[in-house]
Amino acid sequence: MDSNTARNPVFLVFPPEVTVPEFQSKDYRTTAYESSIPFPKLLATKLKIFGTIQILFGLMNFSFGVIFLFTFEAPYPRYPFIFVTGYPFWSSILFINSGAFLIALERKTTETLVKMNRSMNCFSALAAIAGIILLAFGFIVDQNYLCGFSGEVIECKAVTALFIGILTMLMAFSIIELLISMSFAILTRPFDCCDCEEWC
């Protein structure tokens, strides 16, 4: 091989103000999904907080379900209605999953993750609506659940206060979960029907 035909590499050094598109490196990475309306930008700063709240509500719902597990004691012949429906257990799974998707969305925003998050928040909102209906029906069905079977008045008042307190907390968690999941399910969807430039 002749030394005249050998190719020597040439390095070009450009000053910072000169940019030549032919010589720039093309580094492709995953594309981030951004909505063009301002609401998700406001909510994006709170994703980790609301995701953590959803996970905590799921854990609290599960804990109250475990407490209801121990109510099948004499003189009470059956479980409370809300325990029979299984709401504390299946709602906790949905609430924890939607919270985990919100935290994952805060770390990496891709179109697929946004769609999965929207779906999980819709399921979580449906679970919260079902829980509100079941809890309201449970208040009616179980209003005399404890005092109807207990002979002692002192024990009846204390346990009834605890039972009504747990049902009230489950209702509050369901309402707050509904508000959180609906806000992220609705406000993260793209608005294709209108010109979003005027919103910003």
Residue-wise pLDDT for 16-50, tens only, equals 665 656 555 555 555 554 544 444 566 666 788 88
Amino acid at 96: I
Q: pLDDT band for 65, please (50, 70, 90 cuts).
A: confident
Angstrom distance (rounded) from CA 195 to CA 114: 21
Sequence length of the chain is: 200
Distances (CA, A) of 180 to 118, 139, 160: 12, 24, 30
| pTM, rounded to two decimals | 0.68
Q: pLDDT band for 3, please (50, 70, 90 cuts).
A: low
Angstrom distance (rounded) from CA 44 to CA 69: 38
Contact 58, 93 (CB under 8 A): yes
Q: What is the pLDDT of residue 179?
A: 92
Angstrom distance (rounded) from CA 6 to CA 12: 19
Contact 100, 60 (CB under 8 A): no
**Mean pLDDT along residues 152-170:** 78
